[in-house]
Amino acid sequence: MRVEDLLSAAAAAGLAGRIDALGDVLDGGDPAAAAEKLEAVARELEAAGIGGADLTAVVARAAIAARVARPDYGAVMAAIDERLAGEAAAGPAAGWGDQPEGQMYLQSLAVALVPLAGLDLDAARASARTFLANFPSVSLPFGDVDERAANWLARLHDSPAVRESLHALLTRVGDTWAAEHPLAAGQASRWGSAPVPDDPTADGPWMRALVAIARTQLQL
């Protein structure tokens, strides 16, 4: 079953809210709670006569698709679209996505998407607190503590499956908002389609997400 078909069937059965609720749980970054909720929603759909091969996997993809179609993602994509339009009007904008401003927007998307990709947020935050409690906030030439914490977290919590999913989700966001924000969609797809390196500290979206996570703990 396709994601689009499942979403339509769930809406017709009055279960669209259950898909949205699952998206919220996935957004929370608690893999155990997400797995429990996913199983419960899949059983509800089955009871309503909505089934098919790999139903649980399709339900998860549908919940993520519904989540990234919400206005908070649209607002980020609109801002990226506006910036890229301004850059294009001023002249060639080649490489904007790799520049500091582009990386700031990538960070906004990546940290929102990484729990949907499967990262255990509580575990990552706890690790960040451990690092921050044991290292000085500034230690040139090694960089500020958030960047150093992200390097440590990138290895400690490395999961090729999570990182591959994060890249795929950036592409999914691009596809979702392509009609309304085509420039931003293209940029999100470029970020997502970048090869997933073996070295987790060389993975741009992964690193930007972890820097953001470290910063939330630095501010506590």
Q: What is the pLDDT of residues 165-197, one digit of tens each?
A: 999 999 999 999 999 999 999 999 999 999 999
CA distances (Å), origin 39, targets 50, 55, 99, 119, 131: 14, 10, 41, 19, 35
**pLDDT per residue over 26-43, tens digit each?**
999 999 999 999 999 999
Q: Which residue has the tokens 């091969």?
A: 53
Count Cβ atoms within 10 A of the Cβ of residue 85 and give its class: 0-12 exposed, 13-18 middle, 19 or more buried: middle
Q: Would you kindly state where each structural domain of the chain is located, as residue ranges?
A: 3-68, 71-218
Asked whether the predicted pLDDT for residue 214 surpasses 70, the reply is: yes
Asked whether the predicted pLDDT for residue 140 surpasses 80, the reply is: no
According to the model, what pLDDT value does residue 116 have?
Answer: 97
Phi, psi of 138 (to 5 degrees): -135, 130
According to the model, what pLDDT value does residue 53 have?
Answer: 78
According to the model, what pLDDT value does residue 178 have?
Answer: 97
Q: Which residue has the tokens 């389609």?
A: 193
According to the model, what pLDDT value does residue 1 have?
Answer: 82
According to the model, what pLDDT value does residue 138 have?
Answer: 59
**pLDDT per residue over 66-99, tens digit each?**
999 999 999 999 999 999 998 776 555 568 899 9
Average pLDDT over residues 127-156: 81
